[in-house]
Amino acid sequence: MRSSKKANEDCEALDGNVPLEAGADEGDRPFSLFAAKFTLAQCQQQLASAALSAQERSHLLTRMAILSLSRGEPQQAITHCNTALTHQPDAPLAHYYRGLAWIELGQPTQALCCFDQAIACSATPMVQVWSDRGHVQRSLGQYANAIQSYTQALKIEPENALLLSAISSLLAITGKRKQAHKLCDRAIALQPELADGWNSRGVIFLVEQRLQLALDSFRKAVELSPTFARAWCNQGTTLLRLGRWAEAIASFDQSLALVSHPEAWNGLAWINRGLAYLRLGQYSEAIASFDQALQRKPKDYMASLYRVGSLVMSGTILHHVVHPAQRRALGQNLFTILNFLKVRLAVLVALFLVFAYAQGQWMEQLRAGLPGLLAVGIVGLLAVDLWRHRSRFRVIWQTYFHHPWLTYIRAFGIVVLTLGTYTTLERRVPPVLRLGWADLVFGQPGNIIFQPINAIATSASTKAMPPPSGPLPTPPPETASTALSHGTVPWAAIVIGLFWLLLLLGIPFWARLEERIFRRGANTWPQITGRSMVFGLIHVIAGIPLIGGIVLILPGFLFACRYKWVCDRTLRATGNLSQAQDAGVAASTADHAIYNAILVSLAVGSLLFLA
């Protein structure tokens, strides 16, 4: 919204003795006959006359508000509008221009109240009031209300391309994509050079995850309107999803430099900018971006979460704990995160208590059925994730077959070291370290990724099989022939084999994601140590015992060493830090993925073939 520009346009319209807006009330039309041509000084001179009616005074003061807005004096415009409303409380234009002035002052909520009053005071509200009301509601994230406002405006001007484009993007965001495409195409057909139309088309494609088409649309929008801040932000978001982080940062910088009024996307732009820096391993810049987002919305959950994550990954978390000034900000971040999660945490604790202590037949049935439901859910999530990566299946081939045998030997050595360490420590640690949250669901801690295998094996045998504990599941007491077959066809074994294949297909993508998060940018030993600890302990979320999470710090550290060695070598050869980090992530991803593949294969093999 450009209220100063709008005020200038209105001044030109009034000076030309034409109605302010099509659809304005008859009571406002004297503007064109009485106050339209007055300058600010002439308005003041006219107001000195005692013979003026209340309506004429209101019109003069509204004219002065318009002139003040055009001169970049929104506070003065509000003063004039307030005085105008004392003479004529039901003057729609005074309410409207007061709303535009509040927008200039960065107060969209106040502006929305003014637009609502303008609509309430007018028998036939002008299209611009509905349109600007929709713009403000969109800036506040009130998408359903904005759609209603734009719809009212379209009833007045059904061929308004700007309105059609505005409503189409919101329809896409709210899930009505087919209708969104129809309205956006209509807007672009009416006005092919309308930047808003191309921006809306990009939003629709972005919602549909058609990223290249979205990027092309946003580029067209900023080409048509280089000062279109929202389009620059949307382009940055698309580039971020495409993994083109440096380009994304440039787009976010451009959008934020053009911002004149706070809108809902401003904070998100800072968060996404921080994420791009986080991906590049530039943690100080990432933290600065999250700080900017928190200045705009101090209790933003995502900004707080990413800021704490950046502090951990940069190795500066202890510094912030020790120093009082930084500790206060960190405490606020942690409070925001916990406050956001409090309901979820309460529900989770309640479920754990129910599973631990509830009695009765219904509870026994629930306990018996939950593992199966969990298994189905895990398989569904794996399938959905693979479908999402269907266009990048070449990564699977490259991971497993484009690396030398030394990679397999190194990964196998890490597997042996991990299992050996776990076996040695598991028997010697206090019982509390052998606990995991899966105790409450399955009766024994174990990685929930193996739950489909356990559910299949349990349903195929007369004796329940214990779930996996630690890095490997406990071998079943039955043989494959007695526990995993029905009749002559080993259906359970076949299904388990298919699930194993599903895991192998997904491992390269999950390993790459973990390496980007935990390894990229970790070039100092404190960073490597800190991130390796987080890498290991975060696996406790999957249900493994505490000792399992502690042991997994070891392979995390070894993957980090591999990353550092390749990254440093590439940096010396090329002098390009980003290229070096990409090479390091690729190398550590190969070790990590093949390590996981060997581990999963051993687990499934022990389940199927070991007596």
512-556 residue pLDDT tens: 888 888 888 788 888 888 888 888 888 888 778 888 889 999 999
Q: Are residues 222 and 256 in the same domain?
A: no
Q: Are residues 327 and 305 in the same domain?
A: yes
Q: Do 471 and 418 touch, CB atoms closer than 8 A? A: yes
Residue 367, pLDDT score: 67
Mean pLDDT of the chain: 81
**Which among 284, 289, 318 is positioned nearest to 302, based on CA atoms?**
289
Q: Are residues 284 and 335 in the same domain?
A: yes
Q: Are residues 332 and 390 in the same domain?
A: no
Categorize the per-residue pLDDT at 498 as very low, low, confident or very high, splitting at 50, 70 and 90: confident
CATH number at residue 22: 1.25.40.10
Q: Are residues 199 and 299 in the same domain?
A: no
Radius of gyration of the chain (CA): 31
Q: Which of 293, 323, 357 is the last residue of a domain?
A: 357
In which residue are the tokens 């009505």 written? 176
Q: Are residues 562 and 482 in the same domain?
A: yes
Residue 21, pLDDT score: 35
Categorize the per-residue pLDDT at 16 as very low, low, confident or very high, splitting at 50, 70 and 90: very low
Which residue type does 79 have?
A: T
> How many angstroms from the chain centroid is the CA of residue 522?
24
List of residues 6+ apart from 207 with CB closer than 8 A: 172, 173, 177
Q: Are residues 345 and 398 in the same domain?
A: no
Residue 370 pLDDT exceeds 80? no
32-72 residue pLDDT tens: 345 567 888 888 888 888 888 888 888 889 888 988 888 88
Residue 552, pLDDT score: 93
Residue 9 pLDDT exceeds 50? no
Angle between helices 451-460 and 491-518 (to 10 degrees): 170
Residue 36, pLDDT score: 61
Q: Are residues 475 and 413 in the same domain?
A: yes
Which residues form the domain of 260? 239-357
Token output for 486: 């029905």
363-377, 549-563, 567-581, range with the lowest pLDDT: 363-377
232-260 residue pLDDT tens: 999 999 999 988 889 999 999 999 998 87
3-state SS class at 486: strand
Q: Do 470 and 422 touch, CB atoms closer than 8 A? A: yes
Q: Which of 218, 238, 258 is the last residue of a domain?
A: 238
Q: Are residues 232 and 246 in the same domain?
A: no
Buried b (16+ CB within 10 A) or exposed e, 355-368: beeeeeeeeeeebe
Query: From residue 455, how far is each of 102, 382, 464, 470, 484 by CA, in Å?
Result: 61, 16, 9, 18, 11
Q: Which of 238, 265, 296 is the last residue of a domain?
A: 238
Q: Do 248 and 239 touch, CB atoms closer than 8 A? A: yes
| Counted domains in the chain | 3
> How many angstroms from the chain centroid is the CA of residue 401?
34
What is the value of pTM for the model shown?
0.66
Q: Do 261 and 108 touch, CB atoms closer than 8 A? A: yes
- The phi-psi region of residue 141 (left if phi > 0; otherwise alpha if psi is between -120 and 50; otherwise beta) is left
Query: CA-to-CA distance for 449 and 451, rounded, in angstroms?
Result: 6
**CA-based end-to-end distance of the chain:** 72
Angle at 102 between CA 99 and CA 105, to 5 degrees: 160
Buried b (16+ CB within 10 A) or exposed e, 316-338: bbeebeeeeeeeeebeebeebbe
pLDDT, average across residues 330-345: 86
pLDDT, average across residues 160-181: 90
Q: Are residues 334 and 379 in the same domain?
A: no
447-490 residue pLDDT tens: 666 666 666 666 555 444 444 444 544 444 444 444 444 455 56
Residue 20 pLDDT exceeds 50? no
Q: Are residues 65 and 114 in the same domain?
A: yes
Query: CA-to-CA distance for 281 and 561, rounded, in angstroms?
Result: 16
Residue 13, pLDDT score: 37
Q: Are residues 202 and 307 in the same domain?
A: no
